[in-house]
Amino acid sequence: MALRQPLPARGHDAQNARDHRTQDAGIIRVLVADDHPPTRAGVRIALERRGLYVCAEAADAETAVAAAFREHPDVCLLDLRIPGGGIAATAAITAKLPDTAVVVLADEPGDGDLFDALRAGAAGFLLKDTNPSRLADVLRGVLRGEAALPRRLVSRLMEEFRERGSRQSLEIPGGRAVELTGREWEVLELMRRGLATQEIAQRLFISPGTVRTHVAAILRKLRVPDREAALRLLR
């Protein structure tokens, strides 16, 4: 769907005229938040070529939230790492604008990022390597009630659901208890035995990337910087 040509107008009048026409025509209005102008420009081009309309842009969380409250877009596309935090912006927008869908974009998210975004009310979580030509269709799907998640994140979500009942608590020095999933326990045990990432992957029939994701989650929960520090903590 191509955007209609704007009426002769200037400044805010021109913006308001475009906004009214897109609302009247039923065109999907999108807010894009990313602190890199070239990225925002690329997203705008990709979306508007496919008939969507970028009604606002923002470079940080505070500006994104203010723009969302002002524009009431159909969809907000928020970078996870924008200054002020994409998760915080997601929570603020979804709390006040329940009819606005929020999709979070990330370079290489950890499990915690995915779950935090969903808990904050995000309707989708996409990787930045998503083909730009598919982005408009994905956002249309979100507005139809479809979840926007890459396949590998869907599998991680399913694994989290399966493991929810098998969590165990680990007591560490200092009297602090850490809760690990069943898979994290398996990875940790193999780490204790001295197995490398590839060996753990082969033993558990999972990919090395998935092993690294579990290791990162373990380190974050133990509040240590690397494997060696984790193993020293557990001796």
What are the tokens at 164?
Answer: 């929810």
Same domain for 139 and 216, yes or no, is no
C-alpha 228/C-alpha 165 separation (Å) is 29
What does the pLDDT average to over 207-235?
85
Is 6 contained in some domain?
Answer: no
Report the DSSP beta bridge partners of residue 177: 171
Same domain for 139 and 180, yes or no, is no
Instruction: Report the CATH number that the domain containing residue 183 is assigned in CATH.
Output: 1.10.10.10
Is 47 contained in some domain?
Answer: yes
Is 127 contained in some domain?
Answer: yes
For residue 97, give Cα distances in angstroms to 4, 31, 33, 101, 105: 27, 13, 16, 8, 19
pTM tops 0.75: no
Same domain for 118 and 216, yes or no, is no
Same domain for 73 and 25, yes or no, is yes
pLDDT tens digit sequence for 83-135: 999 989 999 999 999 999 999 998 876 666 777 888 889 998 988 888 888 89
Same domain for 187 and 228, yes or no, is yes
Is 2 contained in some domain?
Answer: no
Rounded to 10°, the helix 111-119/151-163 angle is 80
Rounded to 10°, the helix 182-192/197-204 angle is 130
Is 56 contained in some domain?
Answer: yes
Is 26 contained in some domain?
Answer: yes
Same domain for 132 and 174, yes or no, is no
Same domain for 143 and 203, yes or no, is no
Domain count, the chain: 2
Same domain for 110 and 223, yes or no, is no
Q: What is the overall mean pLDDT for the chain?
A: 81
In the predicted model, is pLDDT for residue 17 greater than 60? no
C-alpha 89/C-alpha 97 separation (Å) is 12
Please enumerate in sequence order all residues whose Cβ is within 8 A of that of 202, keeping only pairs 6 or more positions apart, or say none. none
Burial label for 30, CB within 10 Å (0-12, 13-18, 19+), is buried
C-alpha 29/C-alpha 97 separation (Å) is 14
Instruction: Report the CATH number that the domain containing residue 116 is assigned in CATH.
Output: 3.40.50.2300
Same domain for 110 and 58, yes or no, is yes
Is 198 contained in some domain?
Answer: yes
Chosen domain end from 157, 180, 200: 157
Strands of the sheet containing 75-79, edge to edge, are 53-58, 29-33, 75-79, 101-106, 124-127
Same domain for 142 and 201, yes or no, is no
Task: Select from 130, 234, 138, 132 the least CA-distant residue to 192.
Answer: 234
Report which secondary-structure segment, H or E, holds 180: strand 176-180
Please enumerate in sequence order all residues whose Cβ is within 8 A of that of 135, keeping only pairs 6 or more positions apart, or say none. 43, 46, 47, 50, 126
Is 85 contained in some domain?
Answer: yes
Same domain for 180 and 68, yes or no, is no
Same domain for 54 and 132, yes or no, is yes
Chosen domain end from 157, 191, 209: 157
C-alpha 123/C-alpha 104 separation (Å) is 8
Secondary structure letter of residue 166 according to DSSP: G
Chosen domain end from 134, 157, 180: 157
CB 73 within 8 A of CB 53: no
Of residues 158 and 95, more confidently modeled? 95
What does the pLDDT average to over 183-193?
88
Please give the residue range of the domain that contains residue 54: 11-157
SS3 31: strand
